[in-house]
Amino acid sequence: MSRETVFDRYKDPSAARYLLDRVKELAEDLKNGGDPIKVMEVCGTHTVQLSKTGIRSALEGAVRFVSGPGCPVCVTDQRTIDDMISLARLPGVIVCTFGDMMKVPGTYTSLYEERARGADVRIIYSPMDALQIAREVPQRPVVFLGVGFETTAPAVALALKSALQHKIRNFYLFPAHKLVPPAMRALLEDSDVEVSAYILPGHVSTILGKRAFDFVSSDYGYPSAIAGFEPVDILLALFSILNVMRAGAAPKPGVINCYPRAVTDDGNVRAKALMSECFKPVDALWRGLGLIPESGLGLKGEYSRFDAREYFDFPRFSGDHCDGRTGAPPLSAGCMCGYILKGKITPVECPLFSTACTPETPVGPCMVSGEGACAAYYYDR
């Protein structure tokens, strides 16, 4: 069987319809006239796919999906965003970032607005693009904003290794990567988070492997499955989770791997080795979740020389009422992204959703990022 044919099986409408019917039957039986089964999809791409495929609306009343902290832009805390903006204001500095960071509101402004005022902020598509810019303009410092999860961290590590090897001294990293397993533990231990099961991230699991998430089920007893991103992938994960729930008192399993064509037990060993060479776990702030021990990545050893936080002396914003440079009031008043990232509410329950907060006029990052829950729900209306 060709690779293309195997891939197409996960998009097959008849298989998806069959699984959708079975999932709906299982969920209706389990809820037994009560509230819908609450399932958290941890990955932002799953949030988007639940909207695009129509699975969320098709299972309405049987399964209630709530989003987790699976969008790296969304979980970046306000202080970090403000620091990035402040760094971009420094004369002569070139800031390189992925495009979905541009319009994320800081407390008073955004990278997009700062670029309009003259800051040199450039959209790039990989860390190596930023490194190439540093080669081309050796007289100017170039800072790459390192926002992401374990999925993108290995590529950043490769850029750092190349910068060290070729002695590129004007390249810097603003480290803001997050680690998903510690955030999952924080969610599981938070009494405010009330869900019945978890769909775990496929992209992160390709790097970390299935075993990195076994604790969700084995230590905490929650049914959970790693899912791919096609309709059959997601429905198969739901079907597996609901079957575990129906088993009731069955022995606690490890996480179910419903994405074996991409996820192995141990993940990508070479990618993990790259991360380990360049980074070390550090405490990190998450929007909505607060400070989580050893949930971020900081530079270590000889790679510490590339840390923009340590090299540049940039001012932090101060004051509660306005930004001294622009006179702008705080942008994010009333934003409920933090509650959405913990699964406490869905985007439509935020009073700003689709009124004051839209993709054109975002109040919070969940409406900006391509993986943001609010943006996914907005386009799903």
What's the token pair of residue 372?
């943001």
Could you tell me which residues come within 8 angstroms of residue 32 by beta carbon, excluding any fewer than 6 positions away? none
Q: Hey, what CATH topology would domain 74-180+267-311 get?
A: Rossmann fold (3.40.50)
Distance CA 172, CA 309 (A): 9
Per-domain residue ranges for the chain? 74-180+267-311
Cα 47 from Cα 1, distance rounded (Å): 31
pTM: 0.91
Token pair 């700003």 is at which residue?
352
pLDDT of residue 357: 93
Cα separation values, 344 from 59, 152, 260, 337, 347, Å: 19, 28, 31, 10, 10
pLDDT score recorded for residue 193? 87
Assess contact for 73 and 110: CB atoms under 8 A.
Answer: no
In 184-251, DSSP assigns E strands to 197-200, 224-226
Q: Give the DSSP letter string of 75-115.
A: HB-HHHHHHHHHHHTSTT-EEEE-GGGTT---SS--HHHHH
- pLDDT score at 49: 95
Is 174 in contact with 87 (CB distance < 8 Å)?
yes
Distance, CA of 248 to CA of 252 (rounded, Å): 10
What does the alpha-carbon distance between residue 81 and residue 28 come to, in Å, rounded to a whole number?
43
- For the chain, residues with pLDDT lower than 50 are 1, 250-251, 319, 321-322, 327
Q: What is the pLDDT of residue 380?
A: 81
Cβ pair 177, 207 in contact under 8 A: no
Residue type, 230: E
Q: Encoding tokens for residue 148?
A: 């992401």
* The pLDDT value given to residue 319: 47
Is the distance from CB of 213 to CB of 205 less than 8 angstroms?
yes
What per-residue confidence (pLDDT) applies to 12? 86
How far apart are alpha carbons 346 and 203 in whole angstroms?
23
Residue 364 near residue 105, CB atoms below 8 Å = yes
List the beta bridge partners of residue 34: none
Query: What is the rounded CA–CA span in Å between residue 223 and residue 173?
Result: 38
CA distances from 181 to 16, 42, 155, 178, 305 (A): 30, 11, 20, 9, 28
DSSP 8-62: HHTT-HHHHHHHHHHHHHHHHHHHTTSSPEEEEE--HHHHHHHHHTSHHHHTTTT
Whole-number Cα distances in Å, 378 to 72, 183, 186, 368, 372:
19, 26, 28, 11, 10
Tell me the Cα Rg of the chain: 21
